[in-house]
Amino acid sequence: TAAPDLAGRHVVVSAGGTREPLDPVRYLGNRSSGKQGYALARAAAARGARVTLVEANTGIPDPAGVDVVRVGTAVQLREAVLKAAADADAVVMAAAVADFRPAVYASGKIKKQDDGGAPTVELVRNPDILAELSADRALPGQVVVGFAAETDDVLAHGREKLRRKGCDLLVVNEVGERKTFGSEENEAVILASDGAETPVPYGPKEALAETVWDLVLPRLRPAT
């Protein structure tokens, strides 16, 4: 059994992929299964933390000893994460959050056009939850962790994203149609705002989860 080194702590984890509805039958989504986020939540619970897991569209059953909040869209995920973060020692954003949503939700199913044309979907930006959490910490010393899903120039994009988002740690992983999304394994480099870079070799998502908490631990504010 794990050492209870997160006992007395409240941590928030987001998992899964948001779905942005276009009409009553369609949405814009992504390939996140939620496995990495659930591994993080289970690992923190095993280490003694009180865990709030905000999940989007994973279909995974609730892990034992974890408070699960189920959401659908990026806007709903933002609301649930900010609420849970109010008294959290750490927040880990493993969810794949849509950067854009359809500008208009059609209340009826969008029909094929008589002239053979196809509709144009206008998109608007979603709020950047990680940037907001990092800029407006709910508590002094709250640790904010992001993930970066990249397909190319993974480390360069990761370093840039760490600066832009302002989080304490950024877990940079490579993704593709069959890479990382949905699989049991992951491989990453964890970048810290102090410049430290920790490579995590290819292995179970549980192992990456443990390393994330190992790096969060020394950055937590003194326990009260």
Count Cβ atoms below 10 Å from residue 119 Cβ, excluding itself: 11
Q: Which is nearer to ligand PMT, 83 or 110 (CB)?
A: 83
Report the nearest approach of ligand PMT to the CB of residue 197 (Å).
Answer: 17
Phi, psi of 43 (to 5 degrees): -65, -45
Binding mask 180-199 toward ligand PMT (x if CB under 6 A, else -) reads xxx-----------------
Contacts of 69 (CB under 8 A, 6+ apart): 52, 53, 54, 55, 80, 84
Among 192, 187, 188, 148, smallest CA distance to 167 is for 192
Percent helix, strand, coil in the chain, to 5, is 25, 30, 40
Closer CB to ligand PMT, residue 4 or residue 94? 94
| Binders of ligand PMT in range 126-165 (CB under 6 A) | 126, 128-130, 146-149
| Alpha carbon distance 145, 168 (integer Å) | 6
The residue with tokens 């939700």 is: 105
Is position 52 an interface residue for ligand PMT (rule: CB under 6 A)? no
- Take residue 206 and report the two structure tokens written for it: 């549980």
Active-site residue 30, yes or no?
yes
Contact flags string 82-121 toward ligand PMT, x per CB under 6 A: -----------xxxxx-x----------------------
> Annotated catalytic sites, by residue?
30
Binding residues for CTP, as ranges, are 99, 109, 127-130, 147, 161, 165
Q: Which residues bind ligand PMT (CB under 6 A)?
A: 32-36, 74, 93-97, 99, 126, 128-130, 146-149, 173, 175, 180-182
